[in-house]
Structure 1
Amino acid sequence: MTWRAVAAGLCTAAVIAPAAFGDAVQRANGISYDILSFDDLDGWGEDDYAVALQIFKNSCDALVAPDWAAICAGADDAAHPRAFFEDHFHPTLIRDSKPPLFTGYYEPEIDGARAPSARFSHPVYALPPEVGTDGPWFSRREILRSGVLENRGLELAWIEDPVDHFFLQVQGSGRIHFGDGDYMRLGYAGKNGHPYYSIGRELVRRGTFAAADLSADALKIWLRAHPVEGAQLLLHNPSYVFFRDVTEVSEDQGPIGAMGVSVTAHRSIAVDPAITPLGAPVWVEKDGAHPVRRLMVAQDTGSAIKGAQRADLFFGTGEVAGHAAGRLNDSGRMVVLLPKPMATGLAEAYQ
């Protein structure tokens, strides 16, 4: 299950120099780096490396640190994509004290309107100019109860269902379809500075759900069947996400991720950028009912994505993608492809 807020447009983690990146991960709990061979990767050799190379190249404009820039400089002329990855990278297994976990995310599609009505009465807000300038702002509870956002011209659109609004914030992007056939595409603009708290985990703590039975779909059904109790439950998450209009992004492209580029279904993942550098290729070995063995690219982040073996897989846009993403809650392994000098330096520093 996905509990996230996409940090779209915030690409600083992608351009951190190797030394600074090592300093950041030093704060992680019990982190280790083990260099593997490509033969150690389950299923390596069976993927479409030309597609993976193109997704990697999409991130290259943000990869300005020397190790990355040198690799990107040769990416356009790579005649053999698989050999390109094997020649330039070391597969690096990064581990910490947290267990491996793969979840999924997607871009919701929601009916809405440009003006409020009896049906569409829940506003989706743009980022207030004062947010983020002086520590945490109002919490979700304070925002909804104080009216601090009202009558300021911050409404981007209006939607029908507060549950849809909450999950739009969880995903961090979406498309709102209007009755005239037009639509608005929303991207992440910022948040109120409060930590994310999982309402799904809260229901498990209360005994309402067993962890194995919880999914995004099950949670939505419960919230709508218990509107009063559900409204109170939503307030347990103090984090509140604001949006911006990014309709200029082509309809056939994915939403904008943390590197400022569109993410790609089944090829882009969200990671913890304090550990896995944005822009890095990542070999994903996801287990579960639908195993995945695929080379993806770390192009996004999320509030709930913390840890060396934690990733959110992007499934695409719309209801089908949402159902698939909401059911994903699997273990496995992710192996980061790091530039050879970077991988060697980190492995030696964190022996």
Structure 2
Amino acid sequence: MAVSVGWVNRIKQGMRLTTVVAVAALAGCSFAPKEAGIGDAVSWNSLDGWQQDQQADVWPGLLAQCQKLRKKSADWQRICRAADQLGTPDHRQARAFFESHFQVYRINGTEGRKDGLITGYYTPLLHGSLQRSERYSYPLYRKPADMLGIQVQSCADRAARCRGRVIGDQVMPYYSRAEIDGPDQPLAGQELLWVDDPNAAFFLHIQGSGVVQLDTGELVAVGYKDQNGHAYKPIGRVLIETGEIAKEDISLDTINRWLEAHPERADWLKNQNPSYVFFYLSDTVESGPRGSLNVPLTNERSVAVDRKIIPLGTPLWLNTTLFDDSAYQRLVLAQDTGGAIKGPVRADVFFGRGERAKQLAGHMKQSGELFALLPKPQ
């Protein structure tokens, strides 16, 4: 099936323009270099560690996203048909498949940088109940019935979606975190369930999904349903700016320890992030959470990206390190997004569930490179 060579060029030009406009909006009259975004094609030899990776580990995720992507373009229809025919490849066959069907492009950062920030997230385990009690007194809310989705041009460049509520004959911004968790409790009666740890509930908002062990012993999964429209602000940045924790020491663990050590200031700190997430009960306890592409995320093979720059479903080569400086080089799939995941060389690695995943995600704030694998024109 013939595909115009201009397809790749249009993607590259569109991604570059989006990046320039976004950076210009933040910086006033300054502009990002033209090369920011998906850049020029490079050789497979440019990918450090490519020959050593176990590319077949990404295969289940590729087949899962094919159910979505094959309907959207002729290129993905062709690639997914070839993947179906290959069956269950070994690592060598999977590596050859990607080399045959994709071309590598470096993703360039702003200001001419080649590297960017790589972080991680995981599926947390909380303890809760479907009924409020003295122990289980911190709510997870379902999507509020009175929250409106607002589709206007002024919302297009915001870090979060536009959300509002009607007061009289006016549409006002939806409640912030401080208002929702404040004494007026405007969402009372819309609780999905209750948990026993307010800090765990807060971090669940950041992770986006999790598993709750109920007081009956049953495990239930909670997934991201919507968000209140306020832009995400990392509380770790607040702790750095106020001198509470040194920049080099910021991690999930150090932030959590600070919250536990300062209960009288915990609400103040958490309210610095006005973003608030609403959940739903999902059936993904066994299969794991679904990302923005609506396919199950694969441990250490799915990443969240800025979809304005990297189209969802794009295979990426990730070249970074773990917190102990050991090399972390692997093929991943762009299958999710996040409020804090903005910019060209920016990825959030999904590490899965369990203590290892928590430790890896909690300490992941590394410099790294990204390369996009785009379909070869046919």
TM-score category (smaller protein): 0.7 to 0.9
Any runs of at least 4 consecutive aligned residues in structure 1 with deviations exceeding 4 A, and if so which?
A: 17-22
Separation of aligned partners in 1, 2:197 and 2:217:
20
Residue 24 of structure 1, CA deviation: 5.4
Q: Percent identity?
A: 40
| SS of alignment partner, residue 132 of structure 2 | coil
Residue 229 of structure 1, CA deviation: 0.8
| 1:132–1:338 distance in 2 versus 1, CA, 3 Å | farther
| SS of alignment partner, residue 297 of structure 1 | strand
Q: Is 87-96 or 52-61 further displaced after alignment?
A: 52-61
> Which residue identity lines up with residue 304 of structure 2 in the other structure?
A
Equivalent pair of 1:266/1:314 in contact (CA under 8 Å): yes
Matched with 2:100 is 87
Matched with 2:326 is 290
Question: Can you give the 5+ residue segments of structure 2 that lack an aligned partner in the other structure?
Answer: 1-6, 21-32, 151-161, 164-173
2:129 is aligned with 1:113: yes
> Which residue identity lines up with residue 141 of structure 1 in the other structure?
A
> Which residue identity lines up with residue 80 of structure 2 in the other structure?
C
- Which string of whole-angstrom CA distances, capped at 9 and with x for unpartnered residues, describes residues 249-295 of structure 1? 2x332211111111011111111111111111111111252321111
Q: Out of 176, 191, 195, which is 1:139 matched to?
A: 176
Q: Out of 70, 74, 77, which is 1:66 matched to?
A: 74
2:307 is aligned with 1:273: yes
Tell me the TM-score normalized by structure 2.
0.81
Matched with 2:18 is 27
| SS of alignment partner, residue 275 of structure 1 | coil
Residue 322 of structure 1, CA deviation: 1.1
Aligned Cα root-mean-square deviation (Å): 1.8
Matched with 1:254 is 288
Residue 22 of structure 1, CA deviation: 4.8
2:93 is aligned with 1:56: no
Residue 200 of structure 1, CA deviation: 0.4
Equivalent pair of 2:211/2:220 in contact (CA under 8 Å): yes
2:364 is aligned with 1:328: yes
Separation of aligned partners in 2, 1:73 and 1:25:
30
Equivalent pair of 1:56/1:280 in contact (CA under 8 Å): no
Q: Is 329-338 or 166-175 further displaced after alignment?
A: 329-338
Question: Can you give the 5+ residue segments of structure 1 that lack an aligned partner in the other structure?
Answer: 1-16, 343-351
Equivalent pair of 1:266/1:296 in contact (CA under 8 Å): yes
Q: Out of 315, 335, 344, which is 1:308 matched to?
A: 344
Matched with 2:261 is 225
Equivalent pair of 1:21/1:274 in contact (CA under 8 Å): no
Separation of aligned partners in 1, 2:84 and 2:276:
40
| 1:24–1:104 distance in 2 versus 1, CA, 3 Å | same
> Which residue identity lines up with residue 38 of structure 1 in the other structure?
W
Matched with 1:8 is none
Matched with 2:218 is 182
Matched with 1:6 is none
Residue 62 of structure 1, CA deviation: 1.5
Larger radius of gyration between Structure 1 and Structure 2: 2
2:187 is aligned with 1:149: yes
Equivalent pair of 2:199/2:259 in contact (CA under 8 Å): yes
Equivalent pair of 1:108/1:319 in contact (CA under 8 Å): no
| SS of alignment partner, residue 77 of structure 2 | helix
> Which residue identity lines up with residue 66 of structure 1 in the other structure?
A
> Which residue identity lines up with residue 104 of structure 1 in the other structure?
G
Separation of aligned partners in 2, 1:50 and 1:237:
39
Separation of aligned partners in 2, 1:120 and 1:208:
30
Matched residue count: 322
Q: Map 1:98-109 to 2 at 5 A.
A: 99-109=115-125
Residue 329 of structure 1, CA deviation: 0.9
Equivalent pair of 1:132/1:193 in contact (CA under 8 Å): no
Matched with 2:53 is 47
| SS of alignment partner, residue 80 of structure 2 | helix
| SS of alignment partner, residue 296 of structure 1 | strand
Separation of aligned partners in 1, 2:273 and 2:295:
28
Separation of aligned partners in 1, 2:314 and 2:200:
32
> Which residue identity lines up with residue 68 of structure 2 in the other structure?
A
Separation of aligned partners in 2, 1:212 and 1:36:
33
Equivalent pair of 1:253/1:264 in contact (CA under 8 Å): no
| SS of alignment partner, residue 331 of structure 1 | strand
Tell me the TM-score normalized by structure 1.
0.87
